[in-house]
Amino acid sequence: MSVPKKEANLRNKLSRGKFIAASMLQFLSAIGCQQIYMSADV
């Protein structure tokens, strides 16, 4: 995975609420996350 992002760009996306699911998955992959647990309880 080679998606160059600058820290400032990521901070701006997060602060504007423009952090899309694809970015979240790339971030999780970059930190080595292999599983995501989600609850159906709302």
What phi and psi, each to the nearest 5 degrees, are found at residue 15? -70, -30
Q: Give the residue numbers spanning the domain of 20.
A: 1-34
Q: Give the pTM.
A: 0.48
| Domain annotation covers residue 10 | yes
Confidence of residue 3 (pLDDT cuts 50, 70, 90): low
For the chain, what is the domain count?
A: 1
pLDDT for 33 equals: 94
Dump strand ranges (E) for the chain. Answer: none
DSSP 31: T
What's the maximum distance between 2 C-alpha atoms anywhere in the chain? 36
pLDDT for 4 equals: 59
Tokens 């992959």 appear where? Answer: 29
> What are the tokens at 28?
């999780």
